[in-house]
Amino acid sequence: MLVRKRWVVSAVVLALLASPVAFARRPPGARSGHPAPAAKTPIDEFERMSPEQQQRALNLLPPGQRQKLQQRLQRFNQLPSEQQQTLRNLYNRLHELPPGRQESVRSAINRFSEQTPDRQQLIRDELRSMAPLPERDREARMATQEFRKSFSRKEQGIIKDMMPVLPSH
Amino acid sequence: MRCPLEFDKSAELIVGYGARTLAPEAAAEFELHLHSCEACRKMAAAQKAVWAALDAAERRELPVSPDFDRKLFQRIQAKQNRDWWLWRALVPATACLALATLFLLKQPDSMSMPKVQQPQPAVQIDQVEHALDDMDLLNQLGAAI
């Protein structure tokens, strides 16, 4: 009886581990708290495919959409390698988050893009200064008068919502 | 002679006399009896009349259509032709049906043959699209982070 129970528990655990839902939309390396440096995005996985496999995957799209995707891939590959790596890291951190928080980050970036260029630059500078700080210090910084005076409530919300994609320490 | 009407085999005797199948002695003896027996005479006369009528009918020729034989052979030939065409159509049709059945019975086997699985791409193309969407979005932050 005990042996049978063990088998059932093992089977359930294995089924959960094998379930595609368990790790849906999570990039490799996202299972642990910190993404591995070599974590790959779907773009990297696509690039690693053979030309035949790439063509077969692209053929699933209508011609117009296919061409647009190829152009976007080309643009991404033409970015400096350092910028590509930064985007990969951001992407992987974003995809470590639960879907609801991912959407909050996306929404914050959209609100960020609606700001004037000089305000955008101020927000970038603030995020850059917060990036190396531990989470507790970031919270403390956002609670300061200086921070509250420097940014409107909307901008404060943008910065707060973007926090999850900052590197964790 | 005792009157035949008085015993059970009278009918056989009278019919045999009319048909001339009696033995000569029996026939002669019955004829002697007829002289003295009116009832037997009447019976014998009736029998003779029946036989005379049958003889007359036998002699008379029944009218037969002159092309009776031709029509008969035509009908026989037509039936044979009909049967021949029936078989001629039926045999190939049956053969076709048998072949079709055989083909259909064989078909599931070929259908159930393991198809050569195309290797699945490592990543779905829509995942690549979504990743590019996110990359474009994140790229708006510039080198902020």
Q: Could you read off the pLDDT of B66-122 as tens digits, one per residue?
A: 788 888 888 888 888 888 888 888 888 888 898 888 888 876 555 555 555 555 666
For tokens 């993404």, the residue is A35
pTM, two decimals, is: 0.49
Q: Which of A45, A158, A162 to mutate to test the interface with B (most CBs of B within 10 A)?
A: A45
Tokens, residue B2: 């005792």
pLDDT surpasses 60 at B133: yes
d(CA A138, CA B32): 160
Q: What is the mean pLDDT of each run of 10 residues along chain A (169 residues)?
A: 48 39 36 50 90 90 92 93 90 93 95 94 93 93 95 96 85
Given B122, B138, B144, which is nearest A124 (Cβ)? B144
Exposure string over A127-164, b if 16+ CB within 10 A, otherwise e:
beebeeeeeeebeeebeeeebeeebeeebbebbebbbb
**8 Å CB contact of A46 and B138:** no
Identify the pLDDT of residue A32: 40
Q: Does A57 touch chain B (CB under 8 A)?
A: yes
Chain A residues whose CB is inside 8 A of the B144 CB are 123-125, 127-128
Please indicate whether residue B55 or residue A95 has the higher confidence score (pLDDT): A95
B122 vs A49: CB contact, 8 Å cut-off?
Answer: yes
Contacts of B124 in chain A (CB under 8 A): 42, 57
Q: Does A70 touch chain B (CB under 8 A)?
A: no
Higher pLDDT, A24 or B141: B141
Hey, are the CB atoms on B125 and A123 less than 8 Å from each other?
Answer: no
Chain B CA closest to residue A113? B140
Torsion over CA: B80, B82, B86, B89 (sign): positive
Q: Which two structure tokens, joined as six digits, stand for A104?
A: 């909050």
Contact A43 B145 (CB under 8 A): no
Test mutation, B123, B124, B126, B127, chain A, max A CBs within 10 A: B123
Task: Tell me the chain B residues in contact with residue A69 when contact means C-beta distances shorter than 8 Å.
Answer: 125, 128-129, 132
- Nearest CB among A109, A127, A131 relative to B137 is that of A109
Q: Is the dihedral of CA A149, A155, A161, A165 positive or negative?
A: negative
Which phi-psi region, left, alpha or beta, contains residue B116 (left: φ > 0; alpha: ψ -120 to 50)?
Answer: beta
Percent of chain B exceeding pLDDT 90 equals: 6
Look at residue A62 in the predicted model and tell me its pLDDT.
Answer: 92
The predicted structure's pLDDT at residue A98: 94
What pLDDT does A16 receive? 37
A169 near B CB under 8 A: no
H or E segment and range at residue A66: helix A63-78
What pLDDT is stored for residue B115 in this prediction? 55
Provide, rounded to the nearest whole percent, the portion of chain B with pLDDT above 70.
82
Are A127 and B134 an interchain contact pair (Cβ–Cβ within 8 Å)? no
DSSP, res B63? P
| B118 contacts A42? CB cut-off 8 A | no
Taking the CA of residue A23 and the nearest CA in chain B, the distance in Å comes to: 14
Give the contacts of A25 (CB within 8 A, at least 6 positions apart): A95, A99
Cβ partners under 8 Å of residue A124, min gap 6: B141, B142, B143, B144
**Looking at the complex, does the CB of residue B116 fall below 8 Å from at least one CB of chain A?**
no
Helices (H), A79-152: 81-96, 99-113, 117-130, 135-142, 145-150
CA nearest to A95, candidates A160, A17, A165, A21 = A165
The predicted pLDDT at position B40 comes to: 86
Note whether A90 and B138 are within 8 A (CB): yes
| pLDDT value at B49 more than 90 | no
CA-nearest of B47, B125, B143, B9 to A69 is B125
pLDDT exceeds cutoff 60 at B18: yes
